[in-house]
Amino acid sequence: MNIDGKPWRTIWLEPDGGPGGDAVGVIDQTLLPHQFTTRSLRSCQEAAEAIRTMVVRGAPLIGVTGAYGLMLALQLDPSDAALAAAFEQLNATRPTAINLRWALERVRAKVQPLPPAERAEAAKAEAAAIADEDVAMCEAIGDHGLALFQQLAARKPGATLQVLTHCNAGWLATVDWGTALAPIYKAHRAGLPIHVWVDETRPRNQGASLTAYELGKEGVPHTVIVDNAGGHLMQHGLVDAVIVGTDRTTRRGDVCNKIGTYLKALAARDNGVPFYVALPASTIDWTIDDGVAEIPIEARNAEEVTQIQGRISTGSAAGEIAQVQLSPNGSPGFNPAFDVTPARLVTGLITERGVAEASEAGLRELYGRG
């Protein structure tokens, strides 16, 4: 996607940039929207830290960063022991998004049978393939989602399509295009009048900071709302569709996404608003059925709830990025980072292969497995 006229991906190779050979370039998402800064990851340890601290985030991008993290480890030490240690280190960074384990397993399966001297190059090629495939899958999701949006828009000729999204499932969460935002970009580029209600997405505000940033750079009309406003907007006919991403989708179509997604799905059902989830195949966990019972939910630091980060807007420190406290000293916080929306609340799964019913039969029809 473009930032001020320059095309960017969220992750790239910097040849000969690290102690073992290459480095991996990323955009530091903890500073957006106030500062656009890139970082070079020069070791597996730095890649793991970038995922853990959410310098990079979003299920598909975490997966690609993990894949490159294995490459960085193998460039320094291609032994079996180093491969196993790097796999564990990266896999332990964030537990919910299945894309991370999926990408790590894919690279490991490719390199493990090879002689150690060939492993780093093979990991590099596999990580690059995962990144390129992610771009292609997200663009295809955009095309399938666009067709859906065109159907919805046809019901209200001449009017603007009103779409609500939660968290950031845009190009910053992937390598390019995004999942839930890809159809929005496609619609905007196709000239379909569209406006996006952007949930701020407490506690880390990926909506207010990242989704609003992306949509602004692409010129898509949007409005940031507090997380609690969505139900009210739906009751007043101001939302034609909800579209979100997912960090893990079970075999039967339950979707795990940023905390608060479930409440949007409930409000959408109560108001007859279609609730779509956009995902690439790498987000499907074919090993589990019941998302509520079986998906591990990341519990993050309570300070993300009791404090908030922003740019100081007045006074002598204006312009600085700062952390401020919201709750009284001593009030504990609790910070589950994701929730599960049961398949029964999902109108459709928009995948790179088309739109599926959120059910085992629906997914099997597209992917030929169960």
Q: Name the residues annotated as catalytic.
A: 247
> Cα(288)–Cα(82) distance, rounded to whole angstroms?
30
> Cα(59)–Cα(111) distance, rounded to whole angstroms?
23
Spatial neighbors of 92 by CB under 8 A, at least 6 apart, are: 48
CB of 13 to ligand MRU, least distance (A): 22
> Cα(188)–Cα(216) distance, rounded to whole angstroms?
12
* 270 CB-contact burial (10 Å; exposed 0-12 / middle 13-18 / buried 19+): exposed
Q: CB nearest ligand MRU: which residue?
A: 245
Tell me which residues touch ligand MRU (CB under 6 A).
57-60, 97, 167, 169, 173-174, 179, 206, 245-247, 257-258, 337
Q: Which is nearer to ligand MRU, 18 or 63 (CB)?
A: 63
- 8 Å CB contact between 366 and 356: yes
CB of 31 to ligand MRU, least distance (A): 14
The CA-atom distances, in angstroms, between 356 and each of 81, 99, 348, 352, 368 are 41, 20, 6, 10, 12
Q: Which is nearer to ligand MRU, 75 or 99 (CB)?
A: 99
Residue type at 240 in one-letter notation: D
What are residue 14's DSSP bridge partners?
23
Cis preceding-peptide flag for 19 (omega within 30 of 0): no
Q: Which is nearer to ligand MRU, 78 or 280 (CB)?
A: 280
List the 275-278 sheet strands across, edge first.
Answer: 222-225, 194-199, 161-165, 241-244, 275-278, 348-351, 354-356
DSSP assigned state of 336: B
Q: Which is nearer to ligand MRU, 73 or 97 (CB)?
A: 97
CB of 342 to ligand MRU, least distance (A): 17
The CA-atom distances, in angstroms, between 252 and each of 158, 274, 281 are 37, 19, 14
CB of 199 to ligand MRU, least distance (A): 11
Please report the beta strands in 4-77, taking only residues with DSSP state E, as ranges in sequence order: 6-7, 11-18, 21-27, 38-41
Beta-carbon-side half-sphere exposure of residue 140 (alpha carbons within 13 Å)? 14
Q: Which is nearer to ligand MRU, 58 or 183 (CB)?
A: 58
Q: Which is nearer to ligand MRU, 18 or 170 (CB)?
A: 170
CB of 179 to ligand MRU, least distance (A): 4
Return the HEC string of 82-136. Answer: HHHHHHHHHHCCCCCCHHHHHHHHHHHHHHCCCCHHHHHHHHHHHHHHHHHHHHH
Phi, psi (5° rounding) for residue 228? -80, 0
CB of 236 to ligand MRU, least distance (A): 25
Q: Which is nearer to ligand MRU, 140 or 167 (CB)?
A: 167
CB of 228 to ligand MRU, least distance (A): 18
